[in-house]
Chain A
Amino acid sequence: MASRRRFLQIGATAGAWPLVARAAQAAGLDTVGGPHTPLLAVVYDARLAASVSFGRRAEALGLRAHAIEGDMTRLWYDEVYHRWQERPAALAGLTAHGPMFCFVELARDVRMRLVFRAEHQPTAGAALTHAFRAPVSMLSDAVDACRRPGSFGVAMADVVSRCPSGRAEIAEATMPGGPALPEADALYTWVIAPAVPA
């Protein structure tokens, strides 16, 4: 049986679509419906090499990057919580599971959802497996990026900076193999954005 195709309208929330569009325009960000979803910031974990690479590349791309050390509470309370109360805005990260889980749960309160998820899982033999659930346009970029030599953290920063805006088909892919991580545990690249089923 064929799987049902799934679509999201990225850049929209229940009851907030006009507010998001006007706010983005007022902030000088790419307007919703433009090519990419504007990111409030990215989150990286200063203890994790691939995550640090991600954060540095994101800064080089002109994005705001916030460092945590495992616990995201201060970032949440001091920064993101207040911004999301004013208006929901997309957030990306490359972290351990816990911070991603927390931000995804908290994003539900402002009707945002996980629109891009990549699990970078070490396997036997110190190789990596990357499992993606993403808009199709990001998926091919992400798979190509993880095949290339060098830090996948750098590559993921490029990928998340191009999260599409508008109607996007969500698909999955798994890419076995790839350069090993210095960390023993899985890492996750993620994008949370205003989105509604399309």
Chain B
Amino acid sequence: MAVPPGVSEADFRQALARFARVVGDAWVFTSDEDIALYSDAYTPLWSEDEEKTASAALAPDSAEQVQELVRIANEYRIPLYPVSTGRNLGYGGAAPVLSGSVVLDLKRMNRILEVSERNAYALVEPGVSYFDLYRYVQERGLKLWIDCPDPGWGSVIGNALDHGVGYTMNPYRDHFDAHCGMEVVLGSGELVRTGMGALPGSATWQHFKYGYGPYLDGMFSQSNFGIVTKMGIWLMPEPEAYIDGTVQVFGHDDIIPLVDHMNYVMNTGLQNAGTNLQSPLRFAVTRDPDLRQALASDDPADTQRLNAFARANDTPFYTNIFKFYGPEDVVRAQWEHTKRRLSSIPGARFQEGAFYRFPLTEEQKRGVRDPQDLGIPTLETFSIGARSNFAPATRGHLGFSPVIPMSGEAVIESQRVFQRVLQQFETDVALLVFPQSYHPRTLVILCMFYVMPDVAHNQAVRSTFRRLVEVAAEHGWGEYRTHTAFMDDCARAYAFNDNALLRLHERIKDAVDPNGVLSAGRYGIWPRHLRQGGV
């Protein structure tokens, strides 16, 4: 049988028997077929020794069971790896960072504990998916929206804790920012509530984030300091209307004033949603090696050639879709004002986009172009991208996603820098996607890698990815979220003062999880016994 590292088979069998007494025999999984379900569907380590695998899985259905499982794990030093719905595809899925860990499958903890229409929030357990919460709201006719990622099948808690994002407006689209209050099982098995939840009988746990004293919620995101068993999430009251419109600009350097205007309208609240920046020109020159090379060049002559191409072909260099949510008269006025501001960019053009008045009928929902912009979860991406027949013979994708400043200069520089790195590797393993504002006040570059059932291909992916991490760090750009295969690489990049932040993380880890039983290695945080020189 597969056994966790550092644990004898005899101890593991005893531990499994005790786990079974907590959750029931039916919810302890040790067969190869069951463990295979806790794999990474998008692994870049396919068929290699380093491919991440579990030794067993447990499925508790309450925080009390989680506490007891953690206590048993401490006795036997069993590494646990909690997953909510296990659909963090592109970031490691349900597979543990430390192979041989026991996966703690929290999908059975799928209760929606409270939804307040009046104060626009929900309190959920980790197994609640975006589809679950959407269904709850729709079935009861509540005038509330969720904000969901794309695809929309993941966990509300899991996605927020990994700093995931969505597509409606602030603060809801930054899922961790939209959370309010947590309940957490620590590495000792102790149960803690954060924020106002620490006040027994609190009337404001999902209203006021900070509580009293240090605000600790962030330490349970992208970490392994505790298992979140409940979380509050703020929901958006259904707006009266939605309108969007596109601006097109035609010069290489027009990205600079374009992003400056975007900053203004977003930071003043005039337009409080994300971006949909694109470069039609970049797409148009994909098959022209000469012009593609020009995109990576900082020679003014190459810039002039690209500008000439844009004019000759009436192809915008850049576009952005501005989205507005609110009363109809307000959103129409906001779009009109945005157009007046952007008219200061010479040659700028505008296209009117979609307009919706809410609530939508079921038929109208079916016709929506981008349902996630309206808080409607969808799985359509699987019919058009990786894991569809559009990208045959792939096993999915993963993304390199560093944060860059929200400026046109940063957009231009980052595109050139990463294009040059990809050209150096002379591989066709990645696609550079235009930067978007995933979180307020920043842009994120996305370099998409396709993973394959091909060891050599995946090794090239990993080499390229690691080089991109290094190059990004050299330019002051750090990853916002990453696949388990690269968590140590990305953690090392945050090296200020001789990796002082990582050392702080390790001290916290040693304090709240001294036996290191929770998610060893997640985001580069290893328990003491597994750090360099450990077991």
Residues on A facing B (Cβ under 8 Å): 6, 8, 14-15, 70-74, 76-77, 81, 96-99, 101-102, 105-106, 108-109, 113, 185-186, 196-197
Contact = CB atoms under 8 A, between A and B. Distances in A.
Interface residues of B, number: 30
Given A71-B379, A105-B153, A197-B34, 8 more contacts: A74-B366, A77-B135, A96-B389, A97-B388, A97-B389, A98-B383, A99-B383, A197-B32
Contact of A73 (B29, B379, B392): B379
Q: When A and B form their complex, which 3 residue pairs have the shortest distance between CB atoms, in order from nearest?
A: A185-B389, A98-B388, A70-B383
Contact of B27 (A14, A74, A197): A14
Nearest to A107: B37
23 contacts: A14-B27, A15-B27, A70-B383, A71-B378, A71-B382, A71-B383, A72-B383, A74-B366, A77-B131, A77-B377, A97-B388, A97-B389, A97-B392, A98-B383, A98-B384, A99-B383, A108-B37, A108-B86, A109-B107, A113-B37, A185-B392, A186-B389, A186-B392
A85 B37 CA distance: 20
B380 interface: yes
A89 B33 CA distance: 19
Contacts of B387: 97-98, 101
Contacts of B135: 77, 81
B33 A15 contact: no
B31 interface: yes
B101 interface: no
Given A14-B26, A98-B389, A109 B382 contact: no
A56 B131 CA distance: 30
Interface in B401-442: none
Nearest to B362: A78
A74 B380 CA distance: 10
B532 to A, nearest CB: 36
B277 interface: no
B173 interface: no
A77 B362 CA distance: 12
Contacts of B37: 108, 113
B382 A98 contact: yes
Nearest to A69: B383
Contacts of A99: 382-383
Contacts of B384: 70, 98
Contacts of A74: 366
A71 B41 contact: no
B87 interface: yes
B383 A96 contact: yes
A15 B345 CA distance: 64
A77 B136 CA distance: 12
A74 B389 CA distance: 19
B85 interface: yes
Contacts of B392: 97, 185-186
Interface in B1-60: 24, 26-27, 29, 31-34, 37, 41, 59
Nearest to B393: A186
